Structure 1
């Protein structure tokens, strides 16, 4: 089954906690602190697997968590870093932050890997807090939390040439004739519900990848008829073959169809209108198609677009069409080589980090409630039975602006302050 979109939840590993330990060796009666640092949490990394063609794996498993870092140990031994979690995706996968819609990675054959969720840093062991006035610190810091987010994976097929047009104009038949692909072909609308890929080999020895993009309809740019799911596969193609029913079956007007499809392409993305197009006037062998073909040819001549009369069923004109498509593709590739596209760096974002020391202070009745991720880590790091550790706790609150914020909100000596599960009376 072809799956080209998935939403998954990622949770990078938490850093290991720093250790509180002291040397307890023979002949060292008053050993100093020896607590090691915690290990870093594992990252979540996406890499390209050229053998994959679908996002099927992410349909059934939607939660991914990297291992946590190991806690620090005594004798200044650091905790082991958590292993990175590597997720494989097919080439052409775009990764977006579901919350903001921003693109975090665009993985192709050129950009093959990206760290999407970073593991938390390990906490520091009590060895780090030894000083001239603090000889035996009885506290360490907790490890940081890793990134946690929901991402949307979108697969945009990487094909050189795309077949576009209304449903039932013969795109799948063309693909089945010129490649070894075996798409489902029948005489009813929306036979093709998923994109199909095939490799075309011309009689001149050239080859390229051809994608049959499912039939577009009016309103596709708004999502009608699975429009968004289909249109994104057109974005990476270099040349478009616009297939038209020149016989005018079912009352179709090929010129009108051409304008409608191009309107949908433009409304979805203006860039699509700049892609070179070659028109394949299909069903030329059906009686009565000559008049429509003459009108279409004259219309396209004014637009500077080449038209090739073909019959996908009888294979008429197919060699000439694909010889020209191959030539057009070479022209585009040579132009791109001489004029490499400017990378729009502003369109790629790293995961937005919250201010590490962000916090909120609210008041409920006579209690001031303080919340913030760094405060959770701070509380885990404090030994409330040790005066030096309490002093470290108080200094950190002042340094991070928590005390100033409490004063700004009118805290008075004797008021109750609550930080998660810890309550204490405030005295300046």
Structure 2
């Protein structure tokens, strides 16, 4: 199934029911007072996040959703029944934007989270509300108000801890297969990955993280070239980027140039992405003579002036892939510990370095 991560839909909440004009007419009471009831509320339209969904493809077939109208008021002080709400299920990680105003309405990041996207109309007032000392038989009611109508843009951003990025055929899909139970298609030609793949890396009890294999980028991706531009947005939620590079490209391309090209695309798309923690993973070490691998890797790191963690691996042979995952897990644990320490500090509680607080 083709991955669809963007959709435009129209939602229309139900109109409120009209108020009723009616008078009490019973035996021995020929001229009773007004008894027209109010109209019911129109149904609203809600979005709900469902972790069982991973694509917006259903909205290719149905793009318009409407909630039920409220029932009109009736005589004998009978109020109209409210209209049924319409609930639309979307994948976790869906960002909802108003097409007309470009305003972000909400971001559904947890399973079961609900978002009101169109409010139902209010019911009209029956003539019982217009009785007064000077008007004992009012022939007046109000109609229900219209329900809200909007055109919405749904945009799916994957929720992953780690994002894999790199040029096509750098070995990202092979890497995610090696470290998780995910089984993306793998082949020796570019653009094998046509949609993002998620995998859970488990290192033991309460030690796991989610990793996303993003389709390969090419130069010009930030302007829409190739497949990568459709999925660069998925990197926005990741806490760590693993930049995979083929250490010995068949076409003889300089690895340093490849790294700089990807950095350039990240900066053009979103400069903040370039500031995110990013580790270099030099893949396919198995194609190099064993006694030359380390020297070639260190030369690349030196020419890049790389100041962050880096690893030399063979994803297909699963060499050093576990080491990478262990370092990632320790990185997340240290981040968590730092957050907990900051939350323990009360406002104005300044701790000096080395201060004994016992």
Q: Would you say same fold, with TM above 0.5? A: yes
Cα separation, 2, equivalents of 1:58 and 1:27: 60
CA distance in 1 between counterparts of 2:271 and 2:94 reads 21
**Radius of gyration: which is bigger?**
1
- How far did residue 102 of structure 1 move? 1.6
CA 30–203 in structure 1, closer or farther in 2 if over 3 Å, else same: closer
**Pair 1:111–1:94, CA change in 2 (3 A):** farther
2:87 matched to which residue of 1?
Answer: 86
SS of match in other structure, 1:251: coil
Q: Contact 2:170/2:246 (CA < 8 Å) preserved in 1?
A: yes
Structure 2 Cα separation of the partners of residues 51 and 110 of structure 1: 9
Aligned residues of 1:278 and 1:325 also touching (Cα < 8 A)? no
Distance in 2 (alpha carbons) for counterparts of 1:119 and 1:292: 65
Indicate the SS of the match to 2:299.
Answer: helix
Q: CA RMSD in A?
A: 2.0
Q: Quick one: structure 1 residues 131 and 121, their matched pair in 2 at CA, closer, same or farther if it must change by over 3 Å?
A: same
The alignment status of 1:109 with 2:113, answered yes or no, reads no
Distance 2:206 2:77 in 1: 66
* Aligned-residue offset at 1:17: 0.4
TM-score of the pair, normalised by structure 2: 0.89
2:285 is paired with a residue whose SS is coil
Distance 1:311 1:125 in 2: 75
Alignment correspondent of 1:390:
none
Give the CA deviation at 1:284.
Answer: 1.5
The alignment partner of 2:115 has SS state of strand
TM-aligned CA deviation for residue 47 of structure 1: 1.1
- Segments of 5+ residues of structure 1 without an aligned counterpart are 341-428
Q: Specify the alignment match of 1:149 in structure 2.
A: 150
Look up the match of 1:318: 321
Task: Tell me how far 1:153 sits from its aligned partner.
Answer: 0.8
Q: Is the 8 A contact 1:219 1:227 kept in 2?
A: no
Over 3 Å counting, the alpha-carbon distance change for 1:203 and 1:25 in structure 2 is closer
1:296 aligns with one of 295, 300, 306: 300
- The answer to whether the 8 A contact 1:203-1:319 is kept is no
1:237 is matched with which residue?
238
The structure-2 alpha-carbon separation of the partners of 1:124 and 1:203, relative to structure 1 and needing over 3 Å to count, comes to closer
Question: Could you tell me whether the CA contact under 8 Å between 1:238 and 1:332 is conserved in 2?
Answer: no
Taking the aligned partners of 2:340 and 2:278, their CA distance within structure 1 comes to 20
Q: Identify the residue that residue 8 of structure 1 maps to in structure 2.
A: 9
CA distance in 1, matches of 2:266, 2:191: 18
- Does the residue aligned with 1:225 lie in a helix, a strand or coil? coil
What's the secondary structure of 2:333's corresponding residue?
Answer: helix
Matched, 1:185 2:189: no
Residue in structure 1 matched with residue 332 of structure 2 by the alignment: 329
Report how far residue 72 of structure 1 moved. 0.4
Q: Report deviation, 1:204.
A: 8.4
The alpha-carbon deviation at position 101 of structure 1 amounts to 2.0
Task: Give the drift of 1:95.
Answer: 0.7
